[in-house]
Amino acid sequence: MYKPLLTIRLALNGIGARAASITNGDFETTSVPVPAGSFNLYVPGETGLTGWTIVGNAGTDVGVVSGTYTSAGILFPAENGSNWLDLTGLVSNTAEGVAQTIATNIGDSYTLTFSVGNVNSPGTGYGVTSTVDVSANGMSLGAFTNTCTTCNTTQAWQLFTATFTAVSSSTTLQFLNADPRNDNTNGLDNVSLVDNGPVAPVPEPSSMALLGSGLLGVGVCLFRRRTSQLS
C-alpha cells in the first residue's frame, strides 16, 4: 500500500536531474567500421565520426582506435565499448580535437564527465602524461591531466568531471589535445552529460537586508510580548 507514495517520491527526486544528450560519446559509431587492432583517421571537415566535428588546423587529424590495438608491446584498451579516440592522431601533434554542439536550457547547471587515457612510455614516443583542454562555447572548463606513472605497458584511464551553466539554447563542447609534439597518444572516451536543472538564484544584498530586518522585528515583538507577560 506504500507504492503510490514511493512513486511520488521517486518522481520528485528525478525532477532535479534531466536528460542531456551526447551523441556517440564512446566513439563506437563511424561511417567506416574501425578494423579490429587498427584505427581510422579523421581530418578537420570530415564527417565520418558520427555526432562529432573534427577541429584543428589543416594537416592535423584525430584517430578512432580499436581497443585491441597494440604498438611497441603496449596495449591500448578502450575505457568503454570497443573504440576510443586518440586526440593526437597520426600526422601532427598540435591543438587538434573534436567538438559537439548540443541543445541546452539557459540557466541550467550541467555536469560533464569523460575519461582520459594515458601511457607512460617516453622511450616509445608515447610520452608520460595526457592532457585534454575542455571548453564550453569557447569558455575553458579546465585542462585535465592523467598523470599515471605505472601505465607503462597498458593504457590506463582516469575519469574527470567538469560543470558549467548554460548561457544559450545550444552549447558547443570541445576537447583538444594539449600534449607536446613528442607525445603520440592522448585518449578520450566515455563522454557523457547530465542536466542538473536550474541553478538556484542567489538573494540580492537588499533582499537579505530586508529579510534580516524582518527577522529582527519579529524578535523584538516576541521579546516585548514575553516582557509584558512577566510584568
Q: Return mean pLDDT, the chain.
A: 86
CA distance 132 to 107: 26
> Lowest-pLDDT range, 37-41, 118-122, 225-229?
225-229
Judge whether 193 and 23 are in contact, CB under 8 Å: no
DSSP 122: G
Distance of alpha carbon 186 from alpha carbon 86, whole angstroms: 5
Task: Indicate the SS3 state at residue 218.
Answer: helix
> CB atoms < 10 A from the CB of 92, how many?
15
pLDDT band at residue 86 under the 50/70/90 scheme: very high
Quote the DSSP letter at residue 214: H
* pLDDT confidence of residue 204: 65
The pLDDT of 160-176, averaged and rounded, is: 98
| Residue type for position 14 | G
Using pLDDT thresholds of 50, 70 and 90, give the confidence band for residue 93.
Answer: confident
Pick from 87, 185, 95: nearest CA to 140? 95
* Secondary structure (3-state) at 51: coil
Coil vs helix vs strand at 12: helix
Q: Which residue has the higher pLDDT, 185 or 5?
A: 185
Q: Are 142 and 134 in contact (CB under 8 A)?
A: yes
- The model's pTM: 0.81
